[in-house]
Structure formats: structure tokens, C-alpha cells
Amino acid sequence: MFDPRYHDLPGDWHAEAQRLRPARQTEHAGVLEWLLPIPGVLTDPPSDLDVPVNTFEDPNASIVHLEHELLADRLHALLNQAPTRVWDSTNATWTTVMDEGPSVRPQDIMILINSRKHLPDLVDRLRARHIPVMADRQGLLLMQPVVQPLMSILALMAHPTMRKAAVEFARSPVVGMTERQVHDALLSLEEGVPVIPHLIQHAPTEGVQQLLIRLQRLMQWGAVYDVFDAVLDESDLLVAYPDDAQRQFAEGWLTIVQSIGNDTGHDAGAVYRRMVEIRELGRQGPQAITEPNASAIQIMTIHGSKGLQAPVVVVSGLFSAGKADASMSVQDNILVTPQVLAGRIQPWRAKDRPEDGLWAFAAEMNKAQDKAELRRKFYVALTRVKDRLIVTGSPGNQSTFDETTGALSVRFAPDPRTMGRMLVEGLRRATWCAASEAPWISAADLEADVLPRFVSQKFQTPLNPSALLSSASLGVDGLDGLRMYHHPDCFDAVQTQSPQQRARALATHLEELEPPQSETLTPLRLVENIKGAAHNLDATFNCMRSYWFEHVKGWPAEPFRLPNTAVKPSPPKTWPEPTTFGLMMHRVLEIGLRNPRSPLEGAPPLDASWMHEGDDDLSSLKTVERVMNEFGHGVDQPDGSREARWRDRLMHLGSLIDQGRLGRLVQGEPLDGWTVEAVRTELPFFHRHRLVLGEDGFSDHPVPGFNGAVVDHVNMDFSGRADLVLALVNEDGQGALQVVDLKTRGCLGAFNESTSAGGHPLQGVPSTELNVVPQSDEEAHILHEHRLQLALYSLALEAIESRKPSHQQRQILPPALLLGANGRMIQLSEGAFKQAKDDLETHLAWRASVHLNPDLEAPPQRISDPGTCQSCAYFMGDLRRCAPLGEPIGFVNPSDGSP
């Protein structure tokens, strides 16, 4: 194939031949088949639309249709292990061919095509025989049938009165109106009136009406993606387009919509505008690419098959592959090759172009290079196969098949620009090398010492496929022959249906369908696992609307910022970011807090994880220097630098904690009857909070049937780390655990080291005050703000303890906060702790209903509440998406900060 004899021009662009070493591990010989379609007696196509057209008798059928028909029949026989026949033209009979080797599954077959132009015809013919098939690409994603209705819904979300989208949507399988129904409905739709309510009034069935009502509600909420989910899950869209490829296209389209939504603030108008721009990209737009299905025939281009292999490979359209490429480049007026660039002109329209030597040279070179590339492609196509190679196509446009006389002939005149020509040249050479006989080589050529070049024949050559089976040796040590199938009679007859019959069969099937007997069905029982974060429990309890935004609307819980308006990096600040400083302080506590490690005999035992060594001074320079170094500020900080201030502040806060209740407890001092035995910092936990549903669902938040299934119970999963857990024991030897969470509010700019009265309000109570009850409004407020988070940590500890034998269990004390600003520990009272647990339970039940109840409406806006709203992600940013009741929302004016 790569022999220099085929080089039209010398050049370094030609591939070189190399020895192939097959790695097949089977005793069965490989098989070469040639599907060479030759029509029989032509008749007028039937006028009855219920009679399928026989392609091989149809005078209008093209050679491509014949090839595809023959290929579909061949693959049907192969998959069903049916015997095949080849024509014996000497005796005018059929010779049966038995297949050996393992059975073939659809996924073992790969069909290689040179262009996708005729792909739909091939797919249709395979599907008509119920052969599962999947093409790697099927044109443009936005032109796929499953995507069109989704686009029309997006259009209606962006422009609720758009009539064009209304027509598309009404005719789609989602609504399923007939032409007349669409016409009647739209005639009564006045200009400028929203479409969806009108379609609800004119819905063809009650089911569609319910779906449209639901879609309308989701659209009103702005739950853009839930609208598409509802359409895909609940409408007939995927029933009308049931193949896996269409499902993948719908998913691919949704992925694009979601990524555009992330960039544009999830606004349907902006998303639609961008999707229209993408559609207008035409061929440059996103392609309809599919992931191969595990049990379907793969169709792909030769180019796309590089690196792949399959037991059965079909190379189709060989005798047209290459024709179009060559004729296209001839039409160009500029030719660019790696070596030379040439143009041609036509100054006088009425006359021929002037002759141009450079153009003639470049055109020849381009042709030679295209051919060399085509040879490489042909080589790739032929070498993808493991066991059975099937090539399709006819080498000439004149052929004869007469079943009565036995005559079968074809003219070997393949177009010199095509892969088919390469195939014929290759077969000639293989036969010549084997000194065998075959119709594609003449007796004179066989006798020649050097094989003459192939010349297209001007006459018909008789064929005898039966003789070719075993007496047409190909190459030295090659195959004994090949199987040539030329007509559907070579295979068992396959009953196919005309398009009208198929439509009728589908309609009958749908009419005969009995509605499922719902009472006999056992509903599927589901367990839902929902992940959550402990840190925002209190925030979403205070304003449930924010949780609804995040999980129903799909808005990320971050302020929305317009592109290119990112704040310029500000000059170094006096203090680090509060979160960074918080992390530094947590680290100081982690490595500097003294661990008493003095378990009391008789108290519930503590495992080895509690017995780690701990420094005994939070305010030690060694501890703080280590933390400064870990956060990238070096071991030493020059005097007067801002880093030195941070270091001194950490040490100061550490000394406050050392003086306070925690410092005294870890020094072994009993307080309120409790002594600390050991401490654990950064205790990791995973907590699964199980919410059991009663018969009617959650008592306050009923959950309807979940797509026909029953939600048995819901697991709310939380994982994280508790800052500090104290293991305590009282005078009676009773053991307890207590969660302590460090808060560093008021520890930076507002903090006053010299006079607490002039500093942050939290500094109002001194560290030496040992009472755990909040002593100021500020203390009470911060404790209340974090009570659900603290309750969750405590519940996690309770769950861990409950799994131990009863004599090893410890009581869980009400959780506490450790305030960095005054070094105090303040804890929830027993009553507040119980109330926090109850509120947590209610809130988690509500969170579960957000995920399970599609009809749950948005919680109301808060009544004017500067504290909660101003720190809310949906209030901040360049676009105010929510605000306290009565306040405006919209894009924020940068000059005055108002929407």
C-alpha cells in the first residue's frame, strides 16, 4: 500500500511500509468480506405506503443506499449467527457459507465512515432491523431534536410572550398538541400576553396541564434548572426520543446552560441570549458528541478511530472516499502546501484562465500529498480490525446480476482519487504475489515479471463469488480467498417495515397500553442522604430563604460580582483577614493548650487519642512563633512591623485565655465541681442525623410521594472538626464531655489591649469572671448566634457515646463558646441547650423538605433586619438578589451603593 510505485511525485510526505505483527490469540483464521452491491431486476416502487420499498429493486436507489441496505442485512445475519450464501455463477446456485468462531455482539462491531453525509440513512436501516447503533457525533448539539423543546422553554422563560417559542413548545412532545390544536390555541392568544398560562388553558390532556402548571410555578420562582429537570423527568420528551444518544445530548445541553448560568447570575434572559449566540455559530458551535454505549455498534470516522480496535470492522463507502476532498481543493483559487503557495486568476470572464506553471505544479503536489494522506487513512481503517474486516462499495457503475442465467459481472473502474482504487490495486498485488487467479487481475498481468500499473477497465468482468471463497489466495501466506456478498438474497430475509407501518405500529401499541395497576405496585422505598455544613446552620435557621435560594434556585452562596469588576488588590492592611487571624488563633489553641492528662481512676476511660502532650502556656513565645512561621510570617518579626503586632496580639489573647476559666481548668483547678481530665483539640467527627418520616411525612413539612417512591427516612450528613472538647469528671467520679468552640470576634481592629472599656463590647467582662452564664448582651448575643452549630457538635458527641457500653459512656454537658476577646468561656443553659436541639431538629426537617418537596415555596423575606441581611451573600455584591421586605433589589450603583 505504501510501495513507492504508487507515488505520483517524490517527497518526504509519503508513509513508509512496515511489517505488521498481529497479536490475535485465536485459532480461527481472519475473514475478509466485500459487500459489493449489485441491483437485481428493477421494478416500479410500490404506491402503497404500507409496503416497504425494496432498495435493490428501486430504480431511484443510489449506490450508497444499496451499500447501506446490504451492510444492514449482513450485520443482522452476523449478530444472529445466521448462515449466509454467496452466488455460484457457474451453476446459477447459492453456496452456503458457515461462520466459525465466537458469536459477535453489537459492541464488537465498529463501522468506519469517511464522511457523515449519509450517516442518518445507515443508522435508519440498522435501526429498522432492531440493531442497536450509536454514532460518535451526530452533527450540531443545538440542532438535535431533543434540544429544540428545551430551547423553546428557555426562550419562554426569557421572553414569556414569544409566539415563535410558543409554537415550537406546543408542537413538541412536551405538550404534544396537534397542528390544529396549536393553530386554535395561538389564534386566541393576544399579542403581548404570556404564553404558558394560555397553554395551560388549552392543554390537550389533564396530565400535560398539571405539568405546565408545575413548570409555570418553577419559572415564577426562577428555578431555571428545575424547569429542565421537570421536563426531562416528567414529560414525554425522552419517550419520543428514547435513544441513549438523545439523553446524552439533553445532558450536554444542560451542562452548557448551567455553566453559562454560573457566569451570568442564573438569569434566564442572559442564558437564552448566550445560547442563541452559540446556535448562530453554526458549524463552529458545540457538536453532538456521544459517549459510546456499552452494547451498541459504534459508527465513527476513520480519523476518530485512531488507536481503537474491534473484532469486526466495517470500512464503508470505499469507492467514494476521497472523491469529495479532491474535487473541493480543485475549486479553490489558492493552494497552500507546506512547500509552495500558489494562486490563480481569471482576468477575463469570457476566456479560459491563463496557464500558470506554478499553479499547475502546486496543484500536482497538492494532489500527491492528498493521496498520500488518503493512503494513511486507508491504512488506519484496515488495521483497526482483529478478526473480520468488511469492506463495502462497488468498483464501477456498471454491473449485472441475472439469477436465471447466473450472470454476475462488474466493471473494475474505480475512481483513481478514492480508497476503492487503493483496495483494487492492493488486491491485484496480493493475488499476483500469491500467483493465484482473481477477476481483478488479467492473465497477462499475472504472467508479468513486474506487475504493471492498474488501468481502469472498459469492459465488464464476470465474477464468481463462490470460487473466490477459497481459490483467490491473497498474498504470500495470506487468506485463501474472500467472501463477496452482492445482494440481500445472500442473507436470510429480514422483515422491515415502511415508515408508515412503523408509525401505525407505534400508534396501535400506545392505544393498547393498559394504564399500570397502581394498587398492585409496591412503592420503591428510598433513603435520601443530604450533606450539610455545620457552620451555616444558624444563618439558614435565621433566614431559611437563603438556603432555598442555594438549593432550589441553584445560586451559589457567594456575592454576585460582575466580570472585570474585581476589587483591585488593596495595599497591605494593618490586620490580617478575620478568617486568617481566626485560623491562626485556632492553631495557637491547638498546639499551645495544656493537656492535663490526669484521668481519674473509676471515671469512664479515655482512649490514647486524649493523652497527647500539650504545652502549658498559650501565651508562650515559642508557640506563637511557630504559628507565625506556619502562616508564612517567619519565626522572627521585626519590632514595629505589623506582623509583630499580630504576634503580640496572639500572645495577649492567649494570656487572657490562660487567666480565664479554661486556663484554670486545664491547670487542674476544679470549677463548679468539675475537673478537666484531658482535652482534645480539632476533634474530627462525622455525624449522620436520621430523620424518620411518619405516615404523613414530617409533621410540619409534609413530603409528597417522591416521583412515585416513598422516602423512608432522610440522613442529614455533617462532617467537620470541633475546635475543642473537654473530658471532665466531678467529685462523684461521673465523667462528662463538653464541646467548646473558639470565636475571635472583636480581636482585631476594635480590640483595645490597654483599656478594655475603650475596646470591643465583648471586652466589657474581664477574663477573671468565671461564671459561664453570659454577663453582657454582647456575650448573650454571640452565644445565641452559634447555638445550633454547638448543638450539632454536641449531638455528634452524644451519638459517639451512645455506641459505647453504658458504664463507659460520658454525659454531654451543654456546649460552650470560648471568646478570644476576653478569654471567657460562656455556655448554653440546660434549657437553651434543649431548645437549640429542638430547633435544630425542626430546621433539619425543613431542609430535608426543600430537597424532597418540589412544591415547597420560597420562605418570605425578612422584615427589615440590617444585621442578618447585610452579611447575606444574596444581599452583597454587584447584584442585590434579595433584601429585607420592602427594600429594592437589582444592580447596585457603585457610586452610592443602592440598587
Query: In the complex, which residues of this chain contact ligand SF4 (CB under 6 A)?
Result: 543, 545-546, 861-862, 868-869, 872, 874-875, 882-884
Query: Whose Cβ is closer to ligand SF4: residue 543's or residue 821's?
Result: 543
Contact 441/432 with Cβ under 8 angstroms?
Answer: yes
Minimum CB–partner distance for residue 546 and ligand SF4 (Å) = 4
Closest separation in Å from C-beta 859 to ligand SF4: 8
Q: Which is nearer to ligand SF4, 545 or 851 (CB)?
A: 545
Inter-residue contact 64 to 118 (CB < 8 Å): yes
Q: Which is nearer to ligand SF4, 678 or 892 (CB)?
A: 892
Beta carbon of residue 867, minimum distance to ligand SF4 (angstroms, whole number) = 9
- Choose among 361, 342, 154: nearest CA to 260: 154
Closest to ligand SF4 by CB, 539 or 796: 539
Query: Cell for 731?
Result: 467529685
275 versus 537: smaller Cβ distance to ligand SF4:
537
Point out which residues pair with 399 in neighbouring strands: 410
CB nearer to ligand SF4: pick between 128 and 869: 869
Whichever of 65 and 553 has its CB closer to ligand SF4, that residue is: 553
Shortest distance (Å) from residue 845 CB to ligand SF4 = 20
- How far apart CA 593 and CA 580 sit, in angstroms, is 20
Residue 771 to residue 775: CA distance in whole angstroms: 8
894 and 883 in contact (C-beta within 8 Å)? no
C-alpha distances in Å from residue 169, one per residue of 178, 348, 757, 853: 12, 54, 68, 26
Nearer to ligand SF4, 455 or 533 (CB): 533
Residue 173 CB, shortest distance to ligand SF4, in Å, is 37
Distance CA 604, CA 734 (A): 8
Cα–Cα nearest to 584, from 509, 484, 651? 651
Distance CA 253, CA 245 (A): 12
Least distance from C-beta 788 to ligand SF4, angstroms? 16
Neighbours of 52 (CB within 10 A): 18
Task: Between 327 and 870, name the residue whose CB sits nearer to ligand SF4.
Answer: 870
For residue 513, give the DSSP letter.
P
Give whichever of 505 and 885 is closer to ligand SF4, judged by the CB atom. Answer: 885
Residue 8: C-alpha distances to residues 5, 370, 372, 453, 731 (Å):
8, 11, 9, 12, 103
Q: Which element (helix H / strand E) includes 511?
A: helix 499-512
**Shortest distance, CB of residue 629 to ligand SF4, whole angstroms?**
39
Which of residues 830 and 857 has its CB atom nearest to ligand SF4 in the complex?
A: 857
Task: Identify whether the C-beta of residue 847 lies closer than 8 Å to the C-beta of residue 715.
Answer: no
Angstrom distances, CA of residue 868 to CA of 533, 554, 759, 862:
18, 21, 23, 9
Q: How far is the CB of 308 from ligand SF4 (least distance, A)?
A: 52
CB of 793 to ligand SF4, least distance (A): 24
Query: Which of residues 29 and 885 has its CB atom nearest to ligand SF4 in the complex?
Result: 885
Residue 367, burial from CB neighbour count under 10 angstroms (0-12, 13-18, 19+):
middle
**In angstroms, what is the minimal distance from the CB of 157 to ligand SF4?**
22
State the nearest-atom distance from the C-beta of 858 to ligand SF4, in Å: 9
- Tell me the Cα Rg of the chain: 40
Q: Shortest Cβ distance from residue 687 to ligand SF4 (Å)?
A: 26
How far apart are alpha carbons 532 and 539 in whole angstroms?
A: 13
331 torsion bin: left (phi>0), alpha (psi -120 to 50), beta (else): alpha
Distance CA 676, CA 730 (A): 9
Contacts of 678 (CB under 8 A, 6+ apart): 595, 596, 597, 598, 599, 606, 610, 611, 727
The position carrying cell 435557621 is 541
The C-alpha atoms of residue 204 and residue 851 are separated, in whole angstroms, by 31
Cβ closest to ligand SF4, residue 494 vs residue 858: 858
Sign of the four-CA dihedral 622, 624, 629, 635: negative
What is the enclosing helix (H) or strand (E) of 75? helix 63-79
Alpha-carbon dihedral of residues 863, 868, 869, 871, nearest 10 degrees? 180
Q: How far is the CB of 881 from ligand SF4 (least distance, A)?
A: 8
**DSSP letters for 868-882:** HHHT-TTTSBSEE--
CB nearer to ligand SF4: give 50 or 558. 558
Dihedral pair phi/psi, residue 877, rounded to 5°: 95, -175
CB of 847 to ligand SF4, least distance (A): 15
Residues 856 and 845 sit within 8 Å (Cβ to Cβ): no
CA 531 to CA 742: how far, in whole Å?
A: 24
Q: What's the min distance (Å) between Cβ of 702 and ligand SF4?
A: 24
In the block, which residue shows the cell 490469540?
Answer: 25
